Amino acid sequence: MNPVIPYPALLLKGADRSLIISDLHIGWEASLAEQGLHIPSQAPKYAERLRLIIKETDSARLIILGDVKHEVARVGLREWGDVPSFFQELLEFVEEIYVIPGNHDGNLEALIPERVKMFPVHGLTIDHKVGLIHGHAWPRPEILGCDTIILGHLHPMIRLLDAAGFSTTHQVWLRASSDGEVLARKLLSHLGRKLEGDAGDAMKRYFNVTLSNPHCIFIPSFNSLLSGQVLNRFEGGARLGKAYTGPLLRSNGIQLMDAEAYLLDGVYLGRLSDISMTGKFT
């Protein structure tokens, strides 16, 4: 499992080499037009960039972790044309495309070709080792038994200050540890399952899942023009905006401020707790 430098894409190696991305937000340009900002559709550029990455990595499968489109509940006028064209173009270069819907993907099924496989919002697992989910909904129980959980939705970003006090904002990868017991307790409560003893026993009894403490990898948005969650903006640590959080983060079972942050070019920035006060390294 490797980031594809310098892109916000992750390559999952194996028998079927899978390229994983998240948060395209196709059609977001329409929301800018409502504010008087008019730019052409970026969907063809996303498709071309993905075509190059697919060729470079020799990927057989593309997995999109949600927010393919931008409108939340409905399908915008621009999305009716851009989303199907986007998928049709990419199906010429990969054997399979999987989509796990995000919170912006209402009625997405009306836009995707038959060859695109759409999964439930609760995610999927690969080889019982890697769990994939957008991040706005609770995962299926099997995901808490994986070694790694890969999520989108957060749009993680870091603000850096130079010596003159000028700031720049960068997309980052985050790799965080988790407490499976905490995550499982919250999930069991959400599912209305009675908890007797520790959560690991309950997960085994109800779902035949051997509980893990999975590493959590947060993927930067593939749409680089979007805003995101700046994680070191506020003194005393990040205050996560509701638009970017989901139940796993709200459970306090993921040690987000101890997460390791990496720029898209692979540069290691350190732990969020070390850059959380002012944006300068401590």
- Residue 194 is assigned to a structural domain of this protein: no
pTM here is: 0.91
Measured CA to CA, the distance from residue 222 to residue 10 in angstroms comes to 11
pLDDT band at 38 (very low <50, low <70, confident <90, very high): low
- Find the distance separating the first CA and the last CA of the chain, reported in whole Å: 30
Whether residue 39 lies inside any domain: the answer is yes
Question: For residue 122, what is the domain's CATH number?
Answer: 3.60.21
Is residue 143 in a domain?
yes
pLDDT bin (cut points 50, 70, 90) of residue 225 is confident
Average pLDDT of the residues in 38-44 = 81
- Give yes or no for residue 15 having a pLDDT over 80: no
For residue 3, the model assigns a pLDDT of 95
* Cβ-contact 1, 19 below 8 angstroms: no
* Per-residue pLDDT, 282: 40
CB 32 within 8 A of CB 227: no
Q: Dihedral through CA 106, CA 241, CA 148, CA 8, nearest 10? A: 80
Domain count for the chain = 1
Domain presence at residue 24: yes
Pairwise CA distance, residues 52 & 229, whole Å:
28
d(CA 11, CA 236): 34
Look up the domain containing 77 and give its range: 2-178+214-274
Q: How far apart are CA 37 and CA 72, in angstroms?
A: 20
pLDDT-based confidence at 37, cuts 50/70/90?
low
Buried b (16+ CB within 10 A) or exposed e, 131-145: bbbbbbbbbbbbbbb
In a domain, 188, yes or no: no
- Assess if residue 48 is contained within a domain: yes
Mean pLDDT of 175-185: 97
Q: What is the mean pLDDT of the chain?
A: 89
On whether residue 191 sits in a domain, the answer given is no
Percentage of the chain beyond pLDDT 90 is 68
Is residue 133 predicted with pLDDT exceeding 80?
Answer: yes
Cβ within 8 Å of residue 165, ≥6 positions away: none
- Averaged pLDDT, 74-79: 75
What is the mean predicted confidence (pLDDT) over 7-15? 91
Three-state SS sequence of the chain: CEECCCCCCEEECCCCCEEEECCCCECCHHHHHCCCCCCCCCHHHHHHHHHHHHHHHCCCEEEECCCCECCCCCCCHHHHHHHHHHHHHHCCCCCEEEECCCCCCCCHHHCCCCCEEECCCCCEEECCCEEEECCCCCCCHHHHHCCEEEECCCCEEEEEECCCCCEEEEEEEEEECECHHHHHHHHHHHCCCCCCCCHHHHHHHHHCCCCCCCEEEECCCCCCCCCCEECCCCCCCCCCCHHHCCHHHHCCCECHHHCEEEECCCCEEEEHHHCCCCCCCC
Confidence of residue 165 (pLDDT cuts 50, 70, 90): confident
Flag whether 153 is in a domain.
yes
Q: Residue with structure tokens 């070694």?
A: 147
pLDDT exceeds cutoff 70 at 79: yes
Strands in 10-12's sheet, in edge-to-edge order, are 2-3, 10-12, 18-21, 61-64, 96-99, 116-118
